[in-house]
């Protein structure tokens, strides 16, 4: 098995004021701008890739469109995000735990929810914790076998779950990896033989100039 480079990119900022999956699933004006700036960076520094993949979600497809990086895009539902609002609704029904209204509340909420999901207590309304992890891992395994450079437009939960599984971390580690992931951030992995290594996490070179710091968003 030869060398492979996997680049995972979180979508641009979505509708952060939403209270359900469908309302959340579209880019904000800032999200569209992040995608344009990221596309400028990729064309100037990455030049090209062997394949560009994104999930089926609207925020994924809008991000790809804004990048204007490569015409041939493969849509793969295995890159889709968990349905956090559905999980949170079921968790509230079972435990009376309020749904978070801010990032600070989310930081307290997510570890409890993820542990409940990990224990199989929320599977009635969603895929299992392990299935969420495995479906994306299967996609990455296929990309590694193909070799070359693959760019995947996906979501923060997918990225953090993949890293958590790579380093054999549980639900608490998954949550801590998720909290700081910026919209439109870049995460890099290289494979040598059968081993995969993380070489970059949460990079935002397209937003690092002072005049663009206002566009550094997490939610």
* 36-50 confidence digits (pLDDT tens): 999 999 999 988 899
Q: For residue 17, what are the contacts with CB-CB under 8 A and spacing of at least 6? A: none
What pLDDT was estimated at residue 4?
A: 93
Q: Is the pLDDT of residue 13 over 90?
A: yes
The CATH number given to whatever domain includes residue 88 is: 3.40.50.1240
Please give the average per-residue pLDDT across 167-180, as a whole number: 97
Check whether 114 has a pLDDT greater than 90: yes
Has residue 95 got a pLDDT over 60?
yes
**Average predicted confidence (pLDDT) for the chain:** 94
Does pLDDT of 1 surpass 60?
no
Nearest to 25 by CA among 103, 101, 107, 80: 80
Q: Which domain holds residue 68?
A: 4-215
Predicted TM-score of the model (pTM): 0.95
Confidence at residue 157, expressed as pLDDT on a 0 to 100 scale = 98
Res 44: pLDDT? 94
Closest CA to 188 of 207, 215, 162: 162
The predicted model gives 121-142 an average pLDDT of: 92
Average pLDDT estimate for 66-88 = 94
Torsion of CA 18, 21, 22, 23, to 10 degrees: 0
Q: Which residue has the tokens 């904000």?
A: 28
* Percentage above 70 pLDDT, the chain: 99
Number of domains in the chain: 1
Give the strand pairing for 4-10 and 186-192. antiparallel
Go through 207-219 and write b for each residue having 16 or more CB atoms within 10 A of its CB, e for each that does not. beeeeeeebbbbe
Cα–Cα distance list, 141 to 9, 48, 94 (Å): 17, 21, 36
Answer yes or no: is pLDDT of 150 > 80. yes
Three-state secondary structure of the chain: CCCEEEEEEECCCECCCCCCHHHHCCECHHHHHHHHHHHHHHHHHCCCCCEEEECCCHHHHHHHHHHCCCCCEEECHHHCCCCHHHHHHHHHHHHCCCCCCCHHHHHHHHHHHHHHHHCCCCHHHCCCHHHHHHHHHHHHHHHHHHCEEEEEEECHHHHHHHHHHHCCCCHHHHHHHHCCCCCCCEEEEEEECCEEEEEEEEECHHHCCHHHHHHCCCC
* pLDDT reading at 179 higher than 70: yes
Rounded Cα–Cα distance for residues 175 and 153 (Å): 20
Task: State what percent of residues in the chain have pLDDT above 90.
Answer: 85
Across the range 14-26, mean pLDDT stands at 87
């Amino acid at each position: 098995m030869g060398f492979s480079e996997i680049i995972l990119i979180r979508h641009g900022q979505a509708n952060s004021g939403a209270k359900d999956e469908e309302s959340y699933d579209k880019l904000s004006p800032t999200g569209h701008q992040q995608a344009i700036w990221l596309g400028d960076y990729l064309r100037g520094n990455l030049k090209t890739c062997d394949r560009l993949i994104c999930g089926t979600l609207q925020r994924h497809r809008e991000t790809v469109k804004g990048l204007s990086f490569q015409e041939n895009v493969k849509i793969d539902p295995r890159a889709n995000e968990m349905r956090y609002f559905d999980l949170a609704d079921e968790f509230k029904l079972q435990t009376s735990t309020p749904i978070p209204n801010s990032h600070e509340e989310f930081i307290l909420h997510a570890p409890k929810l993820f542990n409940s999901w990990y224990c199989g207590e929320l599977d009635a309304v969603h895929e299992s914790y392990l299935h969420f992890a495995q479906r994306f891992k299967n996609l990455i395994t296929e990309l590694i076998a193909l070799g070359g450079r693959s760019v995947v437009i996906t979501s923060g939960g997918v990225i953090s779950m993949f890293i958590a599984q790579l380093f054999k971390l549980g639900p608490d580690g998954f949550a801590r990896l998720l909290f700081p992931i910026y919209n439109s951030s870049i995460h890099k992995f290289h494979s040598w033989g059968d081993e995969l290594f993380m070489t970059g996490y949460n990079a935002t070179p397209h937003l690092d100039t002072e005049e663009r710091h206002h566009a550094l968003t997490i939610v």
